[in-house]
Amino acid sequence: MINKPYNNRAWLGVLPVLLIVAFSAVIPLMTVVNYSVQDILDFNSRFYVGLDWYRETLQDPRFIEAFGRQVLFSLSVLAIEIPLGILVARGLPKNGAWTSVLLILLAIPLLIPWNVVGTIWQIYARSDIGLLGVGLNELGLAFNYTSNPTHAWLTLIAMDVWHWTSLVALLAFAGLTSVPPAYYQAAELDGASKWQVFRYVEMPRLGGVLVIAVLLRLMDSFMIYTEPFVLTGGGPGNATTFLSQYLATMAVGQFDLGPAAAFSVIYFLFILLFCWIFYNSVMVEDAEEPEGQRRD
Amino acid sequence: MANITLEELSFTYPGAAQPTLLPISVEIKDGEAFALLGASGAGKTTLLNLLSGLLVPTTGRILFDGVDVSEQSGSQRNLAQVFQFPVLYESLTVADNLAFPLSARKADNGLSGSDIKARVAKIAGELDIEHLLKRKPKALSLFQKQLVAIGRALVRPDVSVVLLDEPLTAVEPRTKWQLRQSLKRLQQELGVTMIYVTHDQTEALTFADRVGVMADGNILQTASPQEVYEHPAQEFVGFFIGSPGMNFVDITPGAGDNVYSHHGVASTAQRLGFRPEWAKLVKGAVAPELSKVSWSGTVTLNQVLGTQDGQPVGITTVMGDAGELKVRGPITGASGDKVVVVLDRFISFSNEKYMASHYND
């Protein structure tokens, strides 16, 4: 064994990181946790209320509804964007002059600021002046996303799919380019069908990037705020009010800091939990192999 | 299994000025182990891709048992290929990997589940990988993976030809010979037609019944390993095969070495070629046997490779009036000593014969 010198001053080296993390993450989070257990009337009068705000939030029917909508929205966009993204990626030429052009075109929606995306779709889908809205009405469909909740939902999902499918497609494309040509050649010679090529050649290589894609889209869509805020403002009624928007109304609109803080902590824990469950389920699936790591 | 016939097969990449493959005609017999040997850039891979259906020939035809398959896709040709690195279905077990080519073609081959199982068991037994059947490729060594890949290529009993594209590249040297032996044994037992592409002459010469030596998009000679070694049809073949390769010495009529008149060399010959072991070294400055072709020179390097009857043997480099010559045998004389190189055997070459452009690479 090597005798390592013991020097406490080395801890100083960690200090900058510690400070940055403290100010950027730990302290703000702890402030929120602190708020969530107090009833704050003004700067000078605050009372400790324990877990009251948590209890109240979890029993709040508007929270539960918003949560339900949120889950439905996230699952819907995932169910569309992941398969669609893979499909787009498979359709892209692997190499050639068009590849980079198409990749750049694909990346454009990702580069547009979120409120601009909301505004584009807000105008695009309007039934009085928007190309899509007017077009649908001309076709005989009484489309109006400002009054019809279903239409509002469809518009939101279409917008999110337009905005984010590219991300999945780009990630999946990166995954597909990691498949050596010999694998396709081998599958062809084995007489594999198109589905088998996808299932046994491409999917195993896509696994890693798809986990990332699902995680990113799950977290992002679960936290979506700007686009529905610009597009529908949560309406009609509360039909498209998601968690973050309800939270904003509570914290910034009504200045209910205590309940909003409890809400935030619950929100944060949910996202953490989702990702943890998802990540672990994928990793467990990956690891389960009989006599997996044995070598000889 | 099938007879493979290449008829005037050539290939030029679209837009390229020079053909990558010059018209080639070869016949590979049913059940034969055929090796394509050449340096990189010789056109081996292009020829392999033409055989596997990845490329369509510019001119000429490929026949499998007399049927023109030139325009057919790889899957229609019913062949199998082993690649430079192990190509396996990573999410499937070894057993499923081996069964894949059979089950994917179930509709055509009419095999039942138990037929497939039996065939997989047979191939696994031949390759001695039964204990690996339940594992996933991830849990295998590179050597084992390549064994499985070879198994997958051999599992279809009706396969026309198995192509092997430098299959030992990724395998560590220690296990190379082992894999090569398994391959050779299986080839003989199953009677599969195999085409083995390699730049390694040892692999080609030990594996194949016949070797096609390639250079610059051409097959220079097709013959048994012994034939290409002892009777290279062209200078390049002699140079490329053997380690070190053949020695070549320019000869000029009337320049004093009178090889033309005394040793039966054709009058068109311009060069003599001899293997390092076809010559012996005699100490001194004067040729002892006038009946044999000889050149004098000075020893510049002795490379000892071992001993024989207590005598060091190896390769001696001699610099003399015939240029640099390499002689294999007992080490005679130290560096700087005067010696005579006496030929027991040689081959004469004339200038019309093909000479590879990268002859002295």
Instruction: Give residue-wise pLDDT tens across range A206-248.
Output: 888 888 899 889 888 988 888 888 888 887 888 888 888 888 8
Q: Given a cut of 50, is residue A274 above it in pLDDT? A: yes
Q: Which of A83-92, B268-277, B326-335 has the highest mean pLDDT?
A: A83-92
Any idea which of A16-30, B201-215, B275-289, B300-314 has the lowest mean pLDDT? B275-289
Cβ pair B74:A188 closer than 8 A: yes
Note the CATH number of domain A61-284: 1.10.3720.10
pLDDT for res B226: 92
Cβ neighbourhood burial of B343 (10 Å; 0-12, 13-18, 19+): buried
Q: Which of B73, B83, B135 sits opposite A291 (nearest CB)?
A: B135
Is 70 exceeded by the pLDDT of residue B343? yes
Q: What is the model's pLDDT at position B162?
A: 92
pLDDT tens, position by position, B89-127: 988 999 999 999 998 888 777 788 888 999 999 889 888
**Nearest chain A residue to B98, by CA:** A190
Tokens at B276, concatenated: 């390092």
User: Is the pLDDT assigned to residue A294 strictly greater than 50?
Assistant: no
**CA of A294 vs chain B CAs: smallest distance (Å):** 6
- Percentage of chain A lying above the pLDDT 90 cut: 29
Higher pLDDT among residues A292 and B326, named by residue: B326
| B76 touching chain A per CB within 8 A | no
Mean of pLDDT over chain A: 86
pLDDT at B358: 37
Kindly report, residue by residue over B155-171, the tens digit of the pLDDT.
988 888 999 998 888 88
The pLDDT score that the predictor gives to residue A49 is 84
In this predicted structure, what is the pLDDT of residue A271?
86
Average pLDDT of chain B, as a whole number: 85
User: Which positions in chain A touch B91 (Cβ < 8 Å)?
Assistant: 200, 203-204
Q: Do A186 and B81 touch (CB under 8 A)?
A: yes
The per-residue pLDDT for range A86-115, each reduced to its tens digit, is: 999 998 888 878 888 999 999 999 999 988
Are the Cβ atoms of A189 and B75 closer than 8 angstroms?
yes
For residue A290, the model assigns a pLDDT of 43
Q: 3-class DSSP state for residue A97?
A: helix
Within the 79-118 window of chain B, which residues sit less than 8 Å (CB to CB) from chain A? 79-81, 83-85, 87, 89-92, 100-101, 104-105, 108
User: pLDDT grade, residue B71 (50/70/90)?
Assistant: confident
Sequence ranges of chain B with CATH classification 3.40.50.300: 4-235
pLDDT (mean) for B328-338: 86
Q: Which residue has the higher pLDDT, B267 or B302?
A: B302
Q: What is the pLDDT of residue B158?
A: 84
The reported pLDDT for the residue numbered A292 is: 39
Of residues B196 and A41, which shows the higher confidence score?
Answer: B196
Q: Sort out which chain A residues have CB atoms less than 8 A from B139's CB and list them.
A: 289, 291-295
Kindly list the residues from chain A whose CB atom is less than 8 angstroms away from the CB atom of residue B81: 185-186, 189
Long-range interactions of A196-205: CB distance < 8 A, separation 24+ = A196/B104, A198/A90, A200/B89, A200/B91, A200/B92, A200/B100, A201/B89, A202/A90, A202/A175, A202/A176, A203/B91, A204/B89, A204/B90, A204/B91, A205/A175, A205/A176, A205/A178, A205/A179, A205/B90
Q: Of A54-58, A155-159, A266-270, B335-339, which one has max mean pLDDT? A: A155-159
Mean pLDDT lowest among A73-77, A111-115, A276-280, B163-167 = A276-280
pLDDT band for position A291 (cuts 50, 70, 90): very low
Which range in A163-172, A281-290, B75-84 is most confidently predicted, on average pLDDT? A163-172
CATH code that applies to domain B4-235: 3.40.50.300
Q: Which residue has the tokens 């053909």?
A: B19
State ipTM.
Answer: 0.80
Question: Does B352 have pLDDT greater than 80?
Answer: no
Residues ≥6 apart with Cβ < 8 Å to B331: B302, B304, B311, B312, B313, B314, B316
pLDDT of residue B259: 58
Cβ-based interface (< 8 Å): residues of A facing B: 180, 182-183, 185-186, 188-193, 196, 200-201, 203-205, 289-296
Provide the shortest C-alpha distance from residue A189 to chain B (in Å). Answer: 5
Tell me the pLDDT band of A19, cut-offs 50, 70 and 90: very high
Q: Residue A203: its chain B contacts at CB < 8 A? A: 91
| Domain B245-349 in CATH 1.10.3720.10 | no
Domain with CATH 2.40.50.140 in chain B: 245-349
Residue ranges of the alpha helices (H) in chain B? 44-52, 94-104, 106-109, 113-127, 142-154, 173-190, 201-207, 225-230, 235-240, 259-262
Q: How far is CA B24 from CA A45, A52, B20, B41, B73, in A?
A: 95, 87, 11, 16, 21
CA distance B228 to B9: 22
What local confidence, expressed as pLDDT, does residue B291 receive? 67
pLDDT level of residue B152 (50, 70, 90 thresholds): very high
Chain A interface, best mutation among B49, B73, B91, B169, by max A CB count within 10 A: B91
- Contacts B89 to A, Cβ<8 Å: 200-201, 204
Chain CA centroid to CA A15, Å: 32
Spatial distance between the Cα atoms of B296 and B342, rounded to a whole number of angstroms: 9
Domains of chain A by residue range: 61-284
- Of the pLDDT bands very low, low, confident and very high (cuts 50, 70, 90), residue A75 is very high
What average pLDDT does the segment A139-155 reach?
A: 88
- At residue B63, φ and ψ (nearest 5 deg) are -115, 130
B221-248: average pLDDT:
89
- Quick one: what percent of chain A has pLDDT higher than 70? 95
Chains A–B, number of C-beta pairs less than 8 Å apart: 71
Residue B269 confidence (pLDDT) above 90? no
pTM for the model? 0.78
Lowest mean pLDDT among A252-256, B239-243, B336-340: A252-256
Residue B253: pLDDT band (50, 70, 90) is low
Q: What's the mean pLDDT in A251-280? A: 85
Handedness of CA A277, A281, A287, A290 (dihedral sign): positive
